[in-house]
């Protein structure tokens, strides 16, 4: 597998804090071509900020701190400025596709403009290419739809249009920030199916951020579970779900209603996640963890490979303890 | 089947557009439901299927165009008196916007308790404390305003506010959709406990199938303003008869990936509720649609597990076998 992205020591810092406050990080990430990496966490875990930091699209008041980011170029990984990747090597789709569509341009022109920017072809050719792209992402009757305005499309179709814009950029990587959260479940299935298809057949690398554990189980090859700005557990999706190691991962799965089950009580996680300005010393999940001991309250656990599975990494002092 | 709360042929039309080309949006098309006392009734469907409109009619916030709601055999119209309003309370999706941000929790609750004269004036404070205990909140939360509470805590306050009126029916419209999984679990547990302990009836509206399966005794699946399938929750989940129910269940992501085979992804999207559709409203997306579906609208038929389809999936339950073809 060819590695296309490698990030080490990524941090997101508050710009105007007196001392260093990092809502995210340090986080290490990598992505291979044609792979889907899932990042899961609850609100405030820093999963979206991590994704936005890859393109340095952070909201006001936050800056990208230390860290190196390497991108595959000509078969080698080269350090690259995140801003130069936007709309080229890496594209992004968000929860609200309407935000990415200029309401005053027809769909075909929106896509055509990107095609022209990247290939320098004529408008006539660009429009034809736009129709092809719409067909590729499963928009029915693409010739007609190309003349539609964004507001004439449903949420699912808008999301398909945004995905086709990413394809028009000929990106190697697509960052997906909860792309199906605003969609109905049958439409979500269609979009996930499309992303899978692009990943498998076109070799597109995906980083998929969501709060939905069942959804990430379905789409991701490898996942990172985030809590309070840090990755607490990472590894192949099947491994994490069949044999969760970190107490937080286990607690999340116990709190999740499963469609196959009607019996048994759900187990909520007591307490609330800490604010970035008040991350506890030691393990950040410590105050809510049933297994927390003195060492957890004093030193932060490092993300280390487990003894039984080398590709699974867990940040917990009590990994491997019998529960 | 007892019909303690009975919805009969309820239709709601909204006029939209206005001007030269007004259009009729048919939010509910002749919906009928019977709900037994002390049970939890789930309503599922995608956005725009009319599930929230149904909740609003039940709670008297929207006037029906046709049909009626009966509670205990007596019609429940739009002009409800204080005592009638008390009987049905609602918990909304977003507690951030359904709670007054300028009012402390204590004021919010005591205002309700004194307006509806639930308890004598001197016992109001004690009742507020009791309500806090009922929703597992610390007593000092009474002095706080919604802004300083977390999402899950706010939803508990919204539930306490509904409980303050000692309603017989609680309508929960997507009560956990805005909450994280870890918090959702505690709110769902709380609602289940309250229903069991207080003998309330709950109407639970959600788009989350897994949650509905946990919480509800019976359920209805809605599509474009109509009920397409209804029955005991277990039966609907294990033996979905309507092609839409089947597709809906199949589209839900699972922790244990299911084997391919039965899985049939729906093509295209739900048509606009403004569209005039002859015959079955689902036929445009239906893998089983035949000529009869284009001309004749199917009716909801069967015993305890009813389905509105000309070609329902063969069931394993003999009670409704073969009963959904005729009229």
Superfamily (CATH) of domain A1-89+172-220:
P-loop containing nucleotide triphosphate hydrolases (3.40.50.300)
Tens-binned pLDDT, residue by residue, of chain A (323 aa): 789 999 999 999 998 878 888 999 799 999 999 999 999 998 889 999 999 999 999 989 899 887 788 888 888 888 888 888 887 889 999 888 888 899 999 999 999 999 999 888 999 999 999 999 999 998 888 999 999 999 888 888 999 999 999 889 888 899 999 999 888 888 899 999 999 999 999 899 999 999 999 999 999 999 999 999 999 999 999 999 999 999 999 999 999 988 887 777 889 898 888 888 889 999 999 999 988 999 999 999 999 988 877 789 999 998 876 55
Spell out the domain ranges in chain A.
1-89+172-220, 97-170
Phi then psi dihedrals of residue B142, to 5 deg: -60, -30
User: In chain A, which residue ranges form alpha helices assigned H by DSSP?
Assistant: 47-54, 107-119, 123-136, 142-145, 155-168, 185-202, 213-219, 237-242, 247-255, 294-298
Query: Residue B199's closest CA among B173, B172, B175, B168?
Result: B168
Determine contact, residues A107/A90, Cβ cutoff 8 Å.
Answer: no
User: What six digits make up the tokens of B121?
Assistant: 């004036």
What are the DSSP calls for B233-258, one per residue?
HHHHHHS--SHHHHHHHHHS--SSPP
Long-range interactions of A158-162: CB distance < 8 A, separation 24+: A158/A97, A158/A98, A158/A101, A159/A93, A159/A97, A159/A183, A159/A191, A160/A134, A160/A191, A160/A194, A161/A97, A161/A101, A161/A107, A161/A110, A161/A111, A161/A134, A161/A137, A162/A93, A162/A97, A162/A100, A162/A101
User: What six digits make up the tokens of A34?
Assistant: 């044609």
Distance CA B85, CA A321 (A): 55
CB contacts, 8 Å: A266 with chain B: 185, 188-189, 214
**Minimum CA–CA partner of A288 in chain B:** B182
pLDDT digits (tens, 9 = 90+) for B102-157: 999 999 999 999 999 989 999 999 999 999 998 988 899 999 999 888 888 899 99
Q: Kindly list the residues of chain B whose beta carbon comes within 8 Å of any beta carbon in chain A.
A: 46-47, 150, 152, 180-186, 188-189, 207-211, 213-214, 233-234, 237, 247-257, 265-266, 268-270
Determine contact, residues A167/A133, Cβ cutoff 8 Å.
Answer: yes
Which architecture does CATH list for B5-320?
A: 3-Layer(aba) Sandwich (3.40)
CB contacts, 8 Å: A215 with chain B: 253
Q: What is the ipTM of this complex?
A: 0.83
Query: Residue B270's closest CA among B250, B285, B257, B251?
Result: B285
Residues 6+ apart with CB under 8 A from A146: A106, A107, A108, A111, A127, A130, A131, A134
CB contacts, 8 Å: B219 with chain A: none
Burial class (CB in 10 A: 0-12, 13-18, 19+), A32: middle
Query: Residue B302's closest CA among B318, B324, B327?
Result: B324
Interface mutation vs chain B, best among A186, A188, A212, A232, most B CBs within 10 Å = A186
User: What six digits make up the tokens of B106?
Assistant: 């204590």
Q: Is A272 on the interface with B (CB under 8 A)?
A: yes
Residue B254 is nearest to which of A154, A214, A253, comparing CB atoms? A214
Torsion of CA A317, A319, A321, A322, to 10 degrees: 140
Distance CA B39, CA B103 (A): 33
């Amino acid at each position: 597998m060819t590695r296309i992205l490698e990030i080490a020591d990524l941090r997101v810092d508050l710009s105007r804090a007196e001392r260093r406050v990092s809502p995210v990080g340090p986080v290490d990430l990598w992505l291979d071509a044609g792979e889907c990496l899932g990042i899961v966490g609850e609100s405030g875990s820093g999963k979206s900020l991590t994704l936005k930091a890859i393109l340095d699209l952070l909201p006001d008041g936050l800056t990208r701190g230390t860290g190196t980011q390497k991108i595959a170029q000509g078969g080698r990984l080269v350090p690259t400025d995140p801003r130069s990747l936007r709309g080229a090597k890496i594209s992004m789709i968000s929860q609200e596709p309407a935000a990415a569509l200029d309401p005053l341009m027809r769909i075909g022109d929106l896509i055509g403009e990107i095609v022209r920017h990247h290939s320098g072809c004529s408008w006539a050719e660009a429009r034809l290419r736009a129709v092809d792209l719409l067909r590729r992402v499963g928009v029915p009757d693409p010739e007609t739809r190309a003349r539609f305005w964004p507001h004439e499309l449903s949420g699912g179709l808008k999301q398909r249009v945004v995905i086709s814009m990413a394809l028009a950029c000929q990106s190697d990587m697509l960052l997906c920030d909860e792309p199906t959260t605003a969609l109905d479940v049958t439409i979500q299935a269609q979009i996930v199916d499309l992303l899978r298809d692009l990943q498998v057949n076109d070799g597109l690398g995906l980083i998929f951020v969501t709060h939905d554990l069942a959804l990430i189980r379905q789409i991701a090859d490898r996942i990172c579970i985030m809590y309070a700005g840090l990755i607490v557990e990472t590894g192949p999706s099947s491994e994490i779900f069949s044999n969760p190691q970190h107490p937080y991962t286990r607690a999340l799965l116990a709190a999740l209603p499963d469609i196959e089950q009607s019996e048994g009580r759900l187990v909520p996680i007591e307490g609330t996640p800490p604010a970035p300005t008040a991350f506890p010393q030691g393990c950040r999940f410590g105050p809510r963890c049933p297994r927390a001991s003195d060492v957890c309250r004093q030193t932060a656990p490092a993300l280390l490979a487990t003894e039984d599975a080398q590709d699974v990494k867990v940040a917990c002092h009590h990994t491997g303890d019998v529960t | 089947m007892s019909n303690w709360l009975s919805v009969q042929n309820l239709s709601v039309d909204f006029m939209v557009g206005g001007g030269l080309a007004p259009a009729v949006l048919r939010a509910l098309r002749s919906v009928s439901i019977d709900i037994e006392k002390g049970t939890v009734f789930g309503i599922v469907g995608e956005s725009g299927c009319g599930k929230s409109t149904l909740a609003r009619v039940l709670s008297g916030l929207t006037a029906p165009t046709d049909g009626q709601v009966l509670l205990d055999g007596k019609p429940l119209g739009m002009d409800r008196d204080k005592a009638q309003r008390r009987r049905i309370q609602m918990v909304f999706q977003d507690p951030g916007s359904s709670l007054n941000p300028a009012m402390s929790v204590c004021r919010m609750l005591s205002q309700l308790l004194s307006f509806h004269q639930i308890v004598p004036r001197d016992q109001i404070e004690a009742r507020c404390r009791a309500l806090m205990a009922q929703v597992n909140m610390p007593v000092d939360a009474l002095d706080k305003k919604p802004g300083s509470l977390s999402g899950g805590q706010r939803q508990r306050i919204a539930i306490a506010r509904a409980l303050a009126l000692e309603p017989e029916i609680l309508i929960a419209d997507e009560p956990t959709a805005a909450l994280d999984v870890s918090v959702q679990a505690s709110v769902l547990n709380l609602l289940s406990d309250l229903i069991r302990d207080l003998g309330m009836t709950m109407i639970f509206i959600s788009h989350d199938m897994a949650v509905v399966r946990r919480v509800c005794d019976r359920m209805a699946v809605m599509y474009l303003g109509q009920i397409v399938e209804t029955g005991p929750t277990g039966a609907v989940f294990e033996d979905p008869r309507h092609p839409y129910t089947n597709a809906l269940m199949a589209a839900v992501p699972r922790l244990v990936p299911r084997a391919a085979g039965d899985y049939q992804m729906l093509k295209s999207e739900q048509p606009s509720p403004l569209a005039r559709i002859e015959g079955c409203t689902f036929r445009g997306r239906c893998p089983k649609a035949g000529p009869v579906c284009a001309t004749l609208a199917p009716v909801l038929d069967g015993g305890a597990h009813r389905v509105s389809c000309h070609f329902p999936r063969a069931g394993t339950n003999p009670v409704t076998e073969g009963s959904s073809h005729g009229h």
